[in-house]
Amino acid sequence: MYNAKAVITGILIFLVLCTSPFWASRTGKDYTKTGIVLPKDEKNCVENRDFMRAEHMRLLNEWRDEALRRENRLYTATDGRKWNISLQNTCLKCHNNYKEFCQKCHVANSVYPYCWTCHIIPGEKNQ
Amino acid sequence: MFISLLLVLLIGAIAWAGSTAGFSSLFGVALPCAAVAVFIGGMIWRMVYWARSPVPFCIPTTGGQEQSLDFIRQEKFDCPSTQGGVIVRMFLEICLFRSLFRNTSADVRADMPGNNGPGTIYYSSKWLWCFALLFHYCFLLVFLRHFRFFMEPVPCWVTWLETVDGIMQVGTPRFFMTGGILLAALLFLLGRRVFNQRLRCISLLNDYFPLWLLIGIVCTGICLRYFDKTEIALVKVFIMSVTQFSPDSDAAKNIAPLFFVHLTLVSTLLAYFPFSKLTHMLGVFFSPTRNLANNSRRVRHINPWNPPKQFFTYAEYEDTYRDAMAEAGLPLEKAPDKAAE
């Protein structure tokens, strides 16, 4: 092998960079569950569980547009139930703990939505 | 072109069908791990192969005036004569694609001014350079952004990168500019091959396939983020379990099939990488036309496969034939009686 020193250094750097997802995931904590605390007194959200988990941001976006741009405060869910379109009065009524609910997934997945630039973070005022 | 598109669609369809049919651990665990192993093994094999190949001649490409007399200005980075110059040249080549920046397009003009007739004119052509640079850097940033799925807690540089990337605050989830630019750049690189007749003539399956594959990866990625979403907390749980080699199959069952299509296409890219033209990622470091200094007039470049020379010096010659030479009366450096001492 020619220029063995440089080539072997290069191969080692390549190895370290390419395996980075594998060793980087061991540098911090484990992440085996979200650790979310669901509201105790309510079993069903606006839509079904899988939809809310994956698409809640879409629903929130639509609600914002409906309430603020079209002045429509009534949302009919797929199962026919009617909801008052309001983050503060509908969503946060059950999901009233930011630290145990929103933050659990959002911080772990580096999601920083700008909800709280206008809305009051639930559970903050008590502290 | 269509064959490679069909191939990519076929791979995606197989991944979709497979993960819907319950083979999600195959497409989510076995395939990516095997692909990473093939990628790393293949690339090391490539590098060793290149490093074992001798470079018989000093063949740097010259992009300007070489080192000459003192009053002639040398292009130090385009035609380097020292190791330091080579390092600068390699840096400019790898980080800024300097040789693409010099790209020109030739055109024949029927009436060239000052030529009294037809002549060739060369325009500077920066499109390829621009989009190649955009593609590579956006791809790097997109790759780095994915570390939010590999690390817990998410490092601050990833968060910072996302803040800058989504600074326009369009939509929810926030639109990342790198994703959009990446797709645009890929479409340009594909369009270039399709609409430029000369390029189309020399484009083969192995030119189109990586492009379609990358377009597939980017499209499924964009789709997963903005349109057909899956629960990313679960994705992170799953990915971290795979990178720590203890796959969580419960998480895999609840992730949308589109995620596995994305993962399978990435695995295909990784496994295909060492055997394709994409090896230019590392090949650029091994190119003798780039990594040699243009100093062939000062430093002798020895061909490594030259056989060892059989030297026969004059002293040895005289030692061998001294008596015969003395007999013939030829001049000698050492007389026979002195040599015997």
The mean pLDDT of chain B is 90
The answer to whether A111 contacts B229, with C-beta atoms less than 8 Å apart, is no
Contact B169, A114 (CB under 8 A): yes
Q: Which CATH superfamily is domain B2-309 in?
A: Transmembrane di-heme cytochromes, Chain C (1.20.950.20)
**A25 belongs to a structural domain:** no
pLDDT above 90 (res A41): no
Query: From A34, which residue of chain B is nearest by alpha-carbon distance?
Result: B233
For chain A, the domain total comes to: 1
pLDDT 10s digits, B19-42: 888 888 888 899 999 999 999 999
Is A19 within 8 Å of chain B by CB? Answer: yes
Helices first, then strands: H and E counts in chain B: 17, 2
In a domain, A81, yes or no: yes
**CB nearest A113 (choices: B52, B54, B172):** B172
Of B36, B150, B229, the CB nearest to A25: B150
- pLDDT confidence of residue B340: 67
Q: Is A52 on the interface with B (CB under 8 A)?
A: no
Distance CA B189, CA B205 (A): 15
Q: Which two tokens stand for residue B330?
A: 């030829």
The model carries a pTM of 0.88
Indicate the residue of B36, B154, B282 with minimum beta-carbon distance to A110. Answer: B154
Chain B nearest-CA residue for A28: B152
Is residue B254 scored above 90 in pLDDT? no
What are the tens digits of pLDDT across the range B283-315?
Answer: 999 999 999 999 988 898 888 888 888 889 998
Buried b (16+ CB within 10 A) or exposed e, B158-178: bbebbeebbeeeeebbbbbbb
Structure confidence at residue A17 (pLDDT): 93
**Measured between beta carbons, which residues in chain B are less than 8 angstroms from residue A7?**
47-48, 51
Residue ranges per structural domain of chain B: 2-309, 314-341
Give residue A52's domain range: 42-117
Looking at beta carbons, which residues of chain A come within 8 Å of B233? 34, 53, 105, 108-109
Residue in B165, B170, B232 to test binding to A, most A beta-carbons within 10 Å = B232
Distance between B196 CA and the closest CA of chain A, angstroms: 35
What are φ and ψ of residue B69, in 5° steps? -65, 155
pLDDT(A113) > 50: yes
Say if residue B71's pLDDT is above 80: yes
Give helix then strand counts, H and E, for chain A: 5, 2
User: CB distance from A112 to chain B under 8 Å?
Assistant: yes
Instruction: Say whether residue A5 is in contact with chain B using an 8 A CB cutoff.
Output: no
For residues B302 and A114, give the distance between their C-alpha atoms in angstroms, rounded to a whole number.
65
Q: What is B55-121 written as a DSSP string?
A: --S--PPP-SPPS-STTSPP-TTTS--SHHHHHHHHHHHHHH-HHHHT-EEEEEEEEETTTTEEEEE
**Domain-embedded: residue A18:** no
CA–CA min distance B138, chain A (Å): 18
Q: Which of A14, A20, A25 to mutate to test the interface with B (most CBs of B within 10 A)?
A: A25
Q: Which of B28, B162, B36 is nearest to A18 (CA)?
A: B36
pLDDT of residue B228: 87
